[in-house]
Structure 1
């Protein structure tokens, strides 16, 4: 039995070795994402990842330094996916309130879709002392910075108060989301993404927004109307026949 199985195993290994490196890396990353999501970091085994990817265990160490390096690459890939998907949709969103809500809702959906990866980022990677020097940190900054851009643009347009700190708004939003979804990530509760996105957006926006009647653009238009009315009155005084 062992002798009969040996040639097949050899053929499988040779076939795997003939696969392009890009394909093997892709298969390993997909398998690793599944295993990390299902088992967490500590219980994830390189041998199981290799089996699911259809490669020998040594192939993984050819492309990745160790299990942590593989986790980091999986998380980096996840962030890149989210950034690309969100960017395509965000370009069509108009209005500050809608833009903030879009970012909040997409973030909530990402947590619901990938609770395992979210836990790994919160618990494993972000808690490490070297986190701020990693590419994962840079990607997270890019991912959350859209809120900063939205707020700064709205402040410049006179829609939001000039004393608003865009960085603080970002921290409040993402910190609030993390706090409100933590029970879900611990498998101890659930949340409604749409309702939570609406509530959080309303709370943040209303605290920052300048009343519509006090906004510079409204005041400028009102001033223009007054000037035109004054001009008409002056013309009537100069030419009563009109």
Structure 2
């Protein structure tokens, strides 16, 4: 009979002093650099400590080990991307524009601000086991995709996104191609223009998830708006 999996130890909590908080920020900053440059397997807490001019024991004061530190680095990186996406989505005019913004921002930030971390997530994200990162990344991935799920749910509620396809499948239809494109760009080092790729992807993707007759309804609304504007212009010139 298999024994139950061991529970991960709770994250160490930094003391509430300003000096300790700054130390944690420094460790995370340098940790991001080292994990980006070395990948998870070859990164070491020893190198992180050396770059900071502190002892490795000081790193372990705030983090149980490399796995927890790497998870926190990715968590903070995801939080930064989520903040950009959540701030920009409400400024887009409709569901299609919001979806294109999500795809473009996702590709742009993964490519221009976090290529090394992107490679780490793609290569380690599916790994399993007590020391692997895949299980640790799962809750981060769910939190990261929450804005997309909300966007798609709102699109279904407004009649812009088809309702006969489950949200989980719609999410996969969006994220699956992006992951493949990032895999090619980052791990196979194929050049990719994030803005051009996002536009092309939406051209193919959106008709597949758009609600039937939604495009026709949008054209009718546009025609009505134009007719109303023309009427207003005619009244003003009379």
Same fold at TM > 0.5: yes
1:149 corresponds to 2:150: yes
Count of residues in correspondence between the two structures: 202
1:118 corresponds to 2:118: yes
Tell me the residue number matched to 1:188.
Answer: 189
Q: State the secondary structure of the residue aligned to 1:195.
A: helix
2:124–2:134 Cα contact (<8 Å) kept? no
Structure 1 range deviating more: 73-82 or 141-150 = 141-150
Q: State the secondary structure of the residue aligned to 1:42.
A: helix
Residues 1-242 of structure 1 mapped to structure 2, 5 A cutoff: 20-112=19-111, 113-129=113-129, 134=136, 136-209=137-210, 210-212=212-214, 215=217
TM-score (norm 2): 0.75
- Distance in structure 1 (CA, Å) of the matches to 2:46 and 2:162: 55
CA-based RMSD: 2.6
Seen in structure 2, the aligned counterparts of structure 1 residues 40 and 215 have a Cα distance that, compared at 3 Å, is same
CA shift, 1:88, in A, is: 1.6
1:160–1:208 Cα contact (<8 Å) kept? yes
Q: Deviations over 1:11-37 (max 9, x none)?
A: xxxxxxx97111111111111110111
- Distance in structure 2 (CA, Å) of the matches to 1:168 and 1:32: 35
- Distance in structure 2 (CA, Å) of the matches to 1:87 and 1:216: 25
Structure 1 range deviating more: 209-218 or 22-31 = 209-218
- Distance in structure 2 (CA, Å) of the matches to 1:154 and 1:19: 44
- Distance in structure 1 (CA, Å) of the matches to 2:117 and 2:180: 16
Structure 1 range deviating more: 24-33 or 44-53 = 44-53
Unmatched runs of 5 consecutive residues or more in structure 2? 1-16, 225-238
Structure exhibiting the larger radius of gyration computed from Cα positions? 1
Q: Deviations over 1:125-158 (max 9, x none)?
A: 4322576764x42232122132222222222222
- Distance in structure 2 (CA, Å) of the matches to 1:145 and 1:43: 31
1:173–1:200 Cα contact (<8 Å) kept? no
TM-score (norm 1): 0.74
Q: Deviations over 1:76-95 (max 9, x none)?
A: 11111111222122221221
Q: State the secondary structure of the residue aligned to 1:40.
A: helix
1:33–1:74 Cα contact (<8 Å) kept? yes
Q: State the secondary structure of the residue aligned to 2:162.
A: coil
1:155–1:161 Cα contact (<8 Å) kept? yes
Seen in structure 2, the aligned counterparts of structure 1 residues 212 and 83 have a Cα distance that, compared at 3 Å, is closer
CA shift, 1:165, in A, is: 2.6
Q: State the secondary structure of the residue aligned to 2:164.
A: coil
CA shift, 1:216, in A, is: 10
Seen in structure 2, the aligned counterparts of structure 1 residues 217 and 76 have a Cα distance that, compared at 3 Å, is same
